Amino acid sequence: MKKLPIVFAVLILCSCRNLMNKHQNYVDNQKKGMFTADLSSPQIVAGETEAQFDSAFPFVPLKNSEVAIIYFPVEDAVCLKYRIDTYTFYQFWSRESREAFLEGLENYNKDFDAQKLGRFSGRTRNAYGVVNGYLIWQSTSLTKRAYGHIEMEIGYYFKERSPFFTITQGNALLENYLATEENREINSGERPVYFTKSQAAKIAECFDQQYLLSIVPESMKNTIPVQRVTTPVEFDSY
């Protein structure tokens, strides 16, 4: 029985060392100008909301999907996780990109209230800027995850006569280190994500840095250098 405390101490030490190694990898990538995230890193559920997505079939109305909002303290990244068209997507936002989202949403709300939103979708998809992000996507739990860097355009679209605040998730090319020549051209495809004002407000709430720091357990702060059922689509009156 005396060996048990020693075993637990070794496990805790290995766990702490593993977390520190993850953070060091994050720091090294940051120095290279690369924002990445690791799904095996510690993660905290920050909230949830819904979003709308285009159907894979033409002339089909928008459909809802749940969006989980998850904070990764080691990378100081927030992940928007959603499943659509048999794929699960993990869309990662750095602190810098989250700040751009918050500013873009504020400007969108001002334009919305002032009735200044135009209906030319080709000109509105990046009306509030473009940020860099990181994407992981997977078809099923039995298939390998793919990952790559992306650009995300912050803007809006009119759909069915109503405006939606939008994140147009750019096309990510497979960057897996073990990618073969055959699958090197695999890509995620471009995908707009549509939010009503209330849905976008929930994202903004979870993007707030003070809120994110408040949900990190004290035990984790001491270890890590912290930096359903489908519902009908709602529309905002405009």
Which range has highest mean pLDDT (21-35, 37-51, 218-232)? 37-51
What ranges make up the beta strands (E) of the chain? Answer: 44-53, 63-72, 77-84, 87-93, 130-138, 146-159, 162-169, 191-195
Q: How many CB atoms lie within 10 A of CB 237?
A: 4
Question: What per-residue confidence (pLDDT) applies to 181?
Answer: 53
Residue 223: the pLDDT is 52
Side chain identity, residue 116: K
Domain total of the chain:
1
Q: Name the average pLDDT for the chain.
A: 80
Could you give the CA distance from residue 194 to residue 163 in angstroms, rounded to a whole number? 9
More confident residue, 48 or 6: 48
pLDDT band per the 50, 70, 90 thresholds, residue 80: very high
Is 20 within a domain?
yes
In a domain, 229, yes or no: no
Maximum average pLDDT range among 3-17, 29-43, 130-144, 217-231: 130-144
User: Look-up: residue for tokens 């996507």?
Assistant: 137
Answer whether residue 236 is part of any domain.
no
CA distance linking residue 38 with residue 217, whole number of Å: 19
* Predicted local confidence at residue 57, as pLDDT: 75
Overall pTM > 0.95 = no
Chain centroid offset of residue 231 CA: 22
Query: Mind giving me the DSSP string for 4-51?
Result: HHHHHHHHHHHHHHHHHHHHHHHHHHHHTT-----TTS--EEEEEEEE
Which residue type occupies 213?
Answer: L
Determine contact, residues 50/231, Cβ cutoff 8 Å: yes
| Domain contains 64 | yes
The pLDDT assigned to 178 comes to 47
β-pairing, 146-159 vs 44-53, is unpaired
Has residue 204 been placed in a domain? yes
Q: Is residue 232 part of a domain?
A: no
Between the two ends of the chain, the Cα-to-Cα distance in Å is 69
Q: 100 — phi, psi (to 5°)?
A: -65, -40
pLDDT tens-place string over residues 31-51? 445 789 999 999 999 999 999
Closest alpha carbon to 83 in 57, 112, 116, 48: 48
Q: Which of 122-126, 194-198, 215-219 tops mean pLDDT? A: 194-198
The answer to whether residue 237 is domain-embedded is no
Q: In angstroms, rounded to a whole number, what is the distance separating the alpha carbons of residues 6 and 133?
A: 42
- 11 or 199: which leads in pLDDT: 199
With a cut of 70, say whether residue 168 has pLDDT above it.
yes
Instruction: Give the domain range for residue 13.
Output: 3-223
Residue 166 lies in a domain: yes
What's the confidence (pLDDT) of residue 186? Answer: 64
Whether 114 has a pLDDT exceeding 50, the answer reads: yes
